[in-house]
Amino acid sequence: VKPATVPDAERLARAALARVVEPGDAQVGALVRKAGAEAAWDAVRTRDPSAGAAVLALSRARVEAARPAEDLDVVTNLGGRLVCPGDAEWPPALDELEDLRPLALWVVGPLELREACARAVGIVGARAATRYGEQVAGEWAARLAEGGRVVLSGAAYGIDGAAHRGALAVSGGTVAVLACGVDIAYPRGHDGLLTQIRRTGAVVSEWPPGCAPMRHRFLTRNRVIAAATTATVVVEAAARSGALNTARSALALDRPVLIVPGPVTSAMSVGSNGLLRTEGVRAVGSVADVVEEVGRLGVDLAPALRGPNTARDALTAVVSRVLDAVPVRTPRGPASIAQAAGVEVGVVLRCLGPLELQGLVERQGAGYRLTKLDRPTAS
């Protein structure tokens, strides 16, 4: 059975729309839902009234900037892919955003996004976190990751960074959802951290490569953090923290919002403690409390997929060798591919899943071959 993959034309249309209209717009979402992505993009591109005046107004300034094939190339060169609704890797949890659902997600990193989100816990909080907050975020992230959870956060300074680092410290899965292109190192000081997450986890964004982080994009991004996870844990949040916005998104989606209590004398806990007074929000005093709230991992959930824990170049090299060894037409089994690629069969098995989910290879019987997408004639 070939995993679900959206047609190339739709993928290109979604890539184009992602650049031409700002993600997170319900009017564009409604248009895509009604007309389909290809027709929506056609209408936007040709300035057809069927797109609706609002969407045409939104897309006017940038319609000439569309360059979907280039954007796909940039991300493919980073070892990434564009995950669209309809792809096997698309996390169904995001569909609950309805017309605010992302048009598509640019993803770099070996974690399979659908599976990662199914076991993801969001850990968010203050940038200007205290030592207490960073300590809790880091420790809990490590213990959650050890328990097979994926730690999802926003790669900001403070709590976000501590959470990602905690997961990485135990070689656990972590996903960074950015408010800028997946190729942008933002914040600057997290360049190394993001590189590490691209290697072993996943860096994700609604915005095409090159897009700069802008203030409003963080708020737009937060709904994805809320929707992509099984629960949102707020570790520290000042009175007007963006983490409160993420929490409100999660509440609107009826997802658990879990608060790490902090001293009432700490400005960095004013927002998070305050959330405790909101209907439906729960306090958590330990990792065990978090696990209790999000439910035990089902036995049907396989261990998280991981890319090799090596340098990015090494990963790219290995994946490329495997990909090069996958035949164009007649499928071959993993052992045969391993022999051709000159790598262990285990490495092939680790690479084939993500390659398949990126739509680069497809399964046929017990073997694999390249999809049309990866054949020279297709792009």
**How far is the C-alpha of 56 from the C-alpha of 25, rounded, in Å?**
13
Shortest Cβ 263–a copy of itself spacing (Å)? 6
Among 17, 51, 152, 270, binds a copy of itself (CB under 8 A): 270
Q: Is 269 in the site for a copy of itself (CB under 8 A)?
A: yes
Q: Is 91 in the site for a copy of itself (CB under 8 A)?
A: no
Q: For the packed helices 287-294 and 131-146, what is the interaxial angle rounded to 10 degrees?
A: 50
Q: Identify the three-state secondary structure at position 203.
A: strand
Q: Give the residue with the Cβ less far from a copy of itself, 94 or 144.
A: 144
Among 49, 285, 298, 365, binds a copy of itself (CB under 8 A): 285
Please identify, among the stretches 83-91, 244-252, 279-287, 309-317, the one whose residues bind a copy of itself according to the rule CB under 8 A. Answer: 279-287
Both ends of the chain: CA-CA distance in Å?
24
Task: Give how many residues touch a copy of itself by CB under 8 A.
Answer: 21
User: Mask: binding to a copy of itself, 120-149, rule CB under 8 A, as x and -?
Assistant: ------------x--xx-------------
Q: Is 274 in the site for a copy of itself (CB under 8 A)?
A: yes
**How far is the C-alpha of 14 from the C-alpha of 84, rounded, in Å?**
8
**CB-based contact 84:90 (threshold 8 Å):** yes
Q: Give the residue with the Cβ less far from a copy of itself, 5 or 269.
A: 269
Q: Is 277 in the site for a copy of itself (CB under 8 A)?
A: yes
Shortest Cβ 238–a copy of itself spacing (Å)? 12
**How far is the C-alpha of 117 from the C-alpha of 114, rounded, in Å?**
5
Shortest Cβ 352–a copy of itself spacing (Å)? 41
User: How many CB atoms are closer than 10 A to CB 252?
Assistant: 13
Shortest Cβ 297–a copy of itself spacing (Å)? 21
Neighbouring residues of 251: CB distance < 8 A, sequence distance ≥ 6? 257, 278, 280, 281
User: Mask: binding to a copy of itself, 238-267, rule CB under 8 A, as x and -?
Assistant: ----------------------xxxxxx--
Q: Give the residue with the Cβ less far from a copy of itself, 249 or 269.
A: 269
Q: Give the residue with the Cβ less far from a copy of itself, 96 or 289.
A: 289
Shortest Cβ 267–a copy of itself spacing (Å)? 11
**How far is the C-alpha of 339 from the C-alpha of 356, rounded, in Å?**
19
- CB burial of 86-104 (b: ≥16 within 10 Å; e: otherwise) equals ebbbbbebbeebeebbbbb
Question: For the sheet containing 231-234, what is the strand order?
Answer: 80-83, 105-108, 202-205, 173-178, 150-153, 120-124, 231-234, 257-259, 281-283
Please identify, among the stretches 281-289, 295-303, 317-325, 332-340, the one whose residues bind a copy of itself according to the rule CB under 8 A. Answer: 281-289
Looking up tokens 């902090």, which residue turns up? 262
Q: Is 328 in the site for a copy of itself (CB under 8 A)?
A: no
**CB-based contact 111:304 (threshold 8 Å):** yes
Q: Give the residue with the Cβ less far from a copy of itself, 59 or 273.
A: 273
Q: Give the residue with the Cβ less far from a copy of itself, 1 or 264.
A: 264
Q: Is 371 in the site for a copy of itself (CB under 8 A)?
A: no
Q: Output helix, strand, coil percentages for the chain, rounded to the nearest 5.
A: 50, 15, 35
Among 88, 276, 305, 349, binds a copy of itself (CB under 8 A): 276
Shortest Cβ 227–a copy of itself spacing (Å)? 25
The DSSP bridge pattern shows strands 150-153 and 257-259 to be unpaired
Binding site for a copy of itself (CB under 8 A): 132, 135-136, 260-265, 269-270, 273-274, 276-277, 282-286, 289
